[in-house]
Structure 1
Amino acid sequence: MKFTGLAALAAVAMSTPLAAQSMVAAPNEASAKLGQCLVDRTTGSDRTLVARWMAGSMASSPMMEGLVEVDTSAKEQVDREMADLFARLLTKDCKAQAKVVMQSRDRMGMQAAGGRLGEIAMAELMMDPAAMQALMAYIQYIDPAAMTALAE
């Protein structure tokens, strides 16, 4: 699937990493409406796909070398599925809301809308007990005495 012009802008904006999206100012009304539509019009399976796509993309960074290995064929399949989801959301399910943001050439608004979907997808992922246990595993290595000193 190829994107040109405004569609390319939307594709880039929607794929901005979550950390960068968190730096985006609060969305305007049009962006907020698009973000809410993206969340409302996705299923649990769609949001799992978003989380898998984000994880695969982050895992592809050289900074993850030695910790995470990405299966290139699985990553390509997730990319294809994400492209289909992205196209469906922006051209069908949330077309009216996306059109307002796209026509205003509001890149930051598009990022904020996509970030909202990413936030929900990651929040749902973190509700999984195994994911939460893995996230909290570092606590066993914290020096309790150092933490106690904070309360004094």
Structure 2
Amino acid sequence: MNRNILLLSLFLSLTFSCSKSEKKEEVVATESRPNEEITADLPIGDNSQNALDWPGTYFATLPCASCEGIETWVTLKQDGTFVLKTHHMGLNDDLEEIFTGKFTWDESGSVVTLQGLIGNAPGKYKVGENQIWHLDRSGNKIEGDLADRYVLKKQ
């Protein structure tokens, strides 16, 4: 009998010690039955927000049509705030613009949007390993001959 208990204990410990993939449960209301909720298991995977060491300061000199370039520093902080500092080279060299505020992550956890920017700055950046990509107004990576100049490197 002790042998059977030992074998059963060994079997149960092996069965329950196997790792299971994490699942996120989402509650969804259906249109046909709005008061009835159904749950769906959604896999939770790694993304820029939860798998990278993204807090820090990133720098690049972005292309500029009316100046020599825009020196751009973006600091993303763990508490969800940012500092954006820009300097238009060749135009009033003493002037630096500094914006501060909060940023939000998109649903995929890979793009941050800087909240409260003034002017025509899109304020969206795709976060990667030790770099961020300055995105266009639609949130797309900039393509073409100058695409590599829109990548800010972590300092």
TM-score for both structures, normalised by structure 1: 0.19
Using structure 2 for the length normalisation, give the TM-score. 0.19
Structure with greater helix share of residues: 1
Task: Return the index of the structure with the highest Cα Rg.
Answer: 2
Higher relative contact order at CA 8 Å, sep ≥6: structure 1 or structure 2?
A: 1
